[in-house]
Amino acid sequence: MHVSAIIAAGGRGSRFGGAQPKQLQPLAGVPILKRTVDAFLNGYAFDEVVVALPSDLAANPPAYLDDVIVVEGGDRRQDSVASAVRAVAPSSQVIVIHDAARPLVTAELIERTIDAAIKHGAAIAAVQARDTVKRGDPSRVICGTLPRDEIFLAQTPQAFRVGVLRDALLHAETLAKAGASADATDEAMLAEAAGHRVHLVEGDPRNIKITTPDDLIMAEALARQDARPARTGRAGIGYDLHRLVEGRPLLLGGVTIPSDRGALGHSDADVVCHAITDAVLGAASLGDIGRHFPDVDPRWKDASSLDLLRRAVAMLAAEGLQVGNVDVTVILERPKIKDHIDAMRAALASALGVDGDRVSVKGKTNEGVDAVGRGEAVAAHAIVLVRSR
């Protein structure tokens, strides 16, 4: 099916102000018009994209419009659209119209609107009203309350089978020649006036129209948020080892394990918590446990390693991340830890802010090899997966 796109950019944005047309204003460093055009060039496979510009811009368009058809717009929106319609190929079957001032449109929304137009003949993106809607008289006195489940805020894109759109434009032209007012704020209004049924497609609250400088500020925030790299599926690994000495308690995963020897360290020397803490910090590229809780700092003398782990999780949250799951292996010749694993998982889950089924603890020996195998040390390996909050 031959599908054409029209970008309505024929106005100058007088309500926005400024020395240059609104559509040329930068949005997060990129002109608004370029962002909008790129959304149509890089998303749905349109057979052609037509951009209607003010006459001076149409005579000397920016270089980023080299891959589109540029036409001169008119005094009214519908005049610009009519000019663009004349430039589409005769074989076009569906035409999509979009405001240049909506640069945050998504490929998914464009495709939804096209699919609905193919099925119904005419379709527009619209967002259902969330607030109570009041009708007021000229003196700003409420004269009625409208049921908000019947109120939809129109957006673009708006898509039409070619016959529907041409009929709507012809109807408007006929009215204008007869002296009747035919000004319309969008093409759906023209199609309605010509007797066509227009289907509503679920719009996107982020698909805002930039009309004032305040709108640009909001769009800047959304655009910069979209530009952040995805932070899902990140992983961190951790490792810790401590010598075992007499006179120290043996803490593993926040649980005291009955033993004649415990781990030597500046804090409570819980190798399980230390390994997980390093993994958490590593997943967020925040360094290691020694950077944040150095063993030369008296604040961390005999500190609870569960508390240090909680602090690392808080740092993770500040980066917009949360723990997905944890797997840790304890390497200890003796004592055996299998009877304490459930308690360790529960304590770790509480510190990590996750359900217990997202924490795995396993015990291994080192088969008599090296210091761990000789019972002189305890070690732990941990891996943590994190995801966006």
Determine the average pLDDT of the residues in 82-109: 95
Q: What is the mean pLDDT of residues 346-358?
A: 94
- In the chain, list all ranges with CATH 3.30.1330.50: 234-388
Burial (0-12, 13-18, 19+ Cβ within 10 Å), 371: middle
- pLDDT surpasses 60 at 231: no
Domain boundaries 3-227, CATH class: alpha beta
What is the rounded average pLDDT of the residues 122-134? Answer: 94
Name 313's Cβ contacts closer than 8 Å, sequence gap at least 6. 280, 323, 351, 352, 353
- In the chain, which segments carry CATH 3.90.550.10? 3-227
Per-residue pLDDT at 229: 55
Cα–Cα distance measured from residue 34 to residue 56, given in angstroms and rounded to the nearest whole number: 17
Q: What is the mean pLDDT of residues 352-359?
A: 94
Candidates 289, 363, 359; CA nearest to 333 is 363
How sure is the predictor about 181, in pLDDT bands with cuts at 50, 70 and 90? low
Architecture (CATH level 2) of domain 234-388: 2-Layer Sandwich (3.30)
Q: Report whether 160 contacts 168 (CB < 8 A).
A: yes
pLDDT of residue 12: 67
